[in-house]
Amino acid sequence: MSKRPEHQAPPELFYNEDEARKYTQNSRIIDIQAQMTERCIELLVLPEDTPCLLLDIGCGSGLSGTVLEENGHLWIGLDISSAMLDVALERETEGDLILADMGDGVPFKPGSFDGAVSVSALQWLFNADKKSHQPVKRLYKFFSSLYASLSRSARAVFQFYPENESQLELLTSQAMKAGFYGGVVIDYPNSAKAKKFFLVLMTGGSAPLPKALGVEEEDSLQVKYARREACKGARGKPLKNTRAWLLEKKERRRKQGKETKPDTKYTGRKRSGRF
C-alpha cells in the first residue's frame, strides 16, 4: 500500500479522531508545518507591519493558523475533516473554522481575503473519491472560486507534494484558466529530504517569481507558466483548426452517425494562399 495518505482513504475518513490527535501531537509534524507556513508567508509578500486577513486552505487542527497568528495576521480556516477541526477547537485557535470540501469551491464573497496559504493539502484534489468527482473540474472550481475571493493584489501560496510532472501541468493549467498568473517555486531541488514545491499564484498580473531556496541565482528552479499558453491546453483539447482538432471533430461526427469524408494525408493540411 502506498505511504501517501491521499492514496489510502478520502481525507475526511483518513483524518479520523485518532489520526487527527496523532498528527497534532507529533513534534516533527509541528516543526515541518511551522517551517512550511513561514515559507508560505514569505512567498505571499504581504505588506510589512500590516495585519492581513488570510484564508488557510486545509487548515487541519490549526497548526499553520497558529503561525499566521504569531506573524500578526487574522485567518479563517477551511477543512473537510470534522475530526481535525474538533482538535483545532480544543486547541482554542483564534481563527474561524469552516467544514467544507475545497473541491466544491471556496464559499466566500468576492475580494474577502488579502491572501491564502495551504500546507500539504492541494494534492488531495487529484483523487476521485466519489463517482461524481472529476479532478479537472474540481480543480477549476476551486481555483476560480479562490480567485474571486481574493483581493486584486493578493497572492495564494500552496506547499504541496506532486507525484509527477503531469500533476504540475494540470494544477498550473487550471489555475491559469481561472485567471491566476504565477508558477511553481522548487526549494532545495537537489535534496531528497528538503525538496519542497510551492505553487505561487498572483491575481494582480504577471510578476517575477520569488527565488527558490538552496540554489544559485542562475540555477534557480522555477516553473513559470504564461497565462495565455496555459489556457490553450487547459481542458486537454487540441488547438482549433489543427490536424488533431479536425480529426477529433470528424470522429465525433462519425459517432453521431453523420456523413463524414474519410481521413487522408491531406486532412488538416494548410492550403496555399494562391487560390
Give the tens place of pLDDT for each residue, 121-171: 998 888 766 666 688 999 999 999 999 999 988 999 999 998 888 889 989
User: Are 141 and 253 members of one domain?
Assistant: no
Cα torsion 140, 37, 166, 101 to 10°: value is -40
Q: Pick left, alpha or beta for residue 95 (phi over 0 → left; psi -120 to 50 → alpha; otherwise beta).
A: beta
> What single-letter DSSP state applies at residue 271?
P
Predicted pLDDT at 208: 87
Q: Over the chain, what is the mean pLDDT?
A: 84
Question: DSSP characters for 120-146?
Answer: S-GGGGG---STT--HHHHHHHHHHHH
| Half-sphere CA count of 160, side-chain side, radius 13 A | 24
Q: Of all residues in the chain, what percent carry a pLDDT higher than 70?
A: 81
Q: Taking the complete model, does pTM exceed 0.85, yes or no?
A: no
CB atoms within 10 A of CB 188: 15
CB 260 within 8 A of CB 250: yes
Answer yes or no: is pLDDT of 231 > 50: no
Q: Of all residues in the chain, what percent carry a pLDDT higher than 90?
A: 46
Number of domains in the chain: 2
User: Are 41 and 157 members of one domain?
Assistant: yes
Answer yes or no: is pLDDT of 239 > 70: no
Answer yes or no: is pLDDT of 57 > 90: yes
Q: What are the residue ranges of helices labelled H in 126-226?
A: 135-149, 165-177
User: Are 22 and 64 members of one domain?
Assistant: yes
Answer yes or no: is pLDDT of 6 > 70: no
Answer yes or no: is pLDDT of 232 > 60: no
User: Are 195 and 242 members of one domain?
Assistant: no
3-state secondary structure (DSSP) of residue 79: strand
* Contacts (Cβ under 8 Å, ≥6 apart) of 171: 122, 139, 160, 162, 199
User: Are 155 and 245 members of one domain?
Assistant: no
Predicted pLDDT at 67: 96
**pLDDT tens digits for range 86-121:** 999 999 999 999 999 999 999 999 999 999 999 999
The mean-pLDDT minimum among 16-20, 78-82, 146-150, 208-212 falls in 16-20
CATH number of the domain where residue 188 is located: 3.40.50.150
User: Are 154 and 242 members of one domain?
Assistant: no
* Three cell numbers written together for 144: 476560480
User: Are 171 and 130 members of one domain?
Assistant: yes
User: Are 138 and 59 members of one domain?
Assistant: yes
| Residue numbers of the domain that contains 55 | 5-232
User: Are 130 and 258 members of one domain?
Assistant: no
User: Are 63 and 129 members of one domain?
Assistant: yes
User: Are 120 and 248 members of one domain?
Assistant: no
